[in-house]
Amino acid sequence: MELSARLDPVVAVAADSAREVDAQAAFPEKAVLALRESGLLGLTLPTEVGGLGGGPHELTEVVGALAGRAARPR
């Protein structure tokens, strides 16, 4: 499953807002909205119910990309 087209914009939003979210101890609303818009919130749901049908490998790819980028805010 190719995730970069969905993941790259989400990672950019998360990175752009990470410093502000951390400084204010705020909920990462922009990043979660970007996840929703990308369809990645349904990553591990079956395609029969509208998900992407991803498995553990895809989940760790997404979580790793978000965690790695959010740890290095712009």
Percent of the chain beyond pLDDT 90?
81
Give the DSSP letter of residue 41: G
**Residue numbers of the domain that contains 33:** 4-42+51-70
Radius of gyration of the chain from Cα atoms?
13
pLDDT score, position 70: 61
- Our count of domains for the chain comes to 1
pLDDT of residue 11 exceeding 70, the answer is yes
pLDDT of residue 53 exceeding 70, the answer is yes
pTM assigned to the model: 0.83
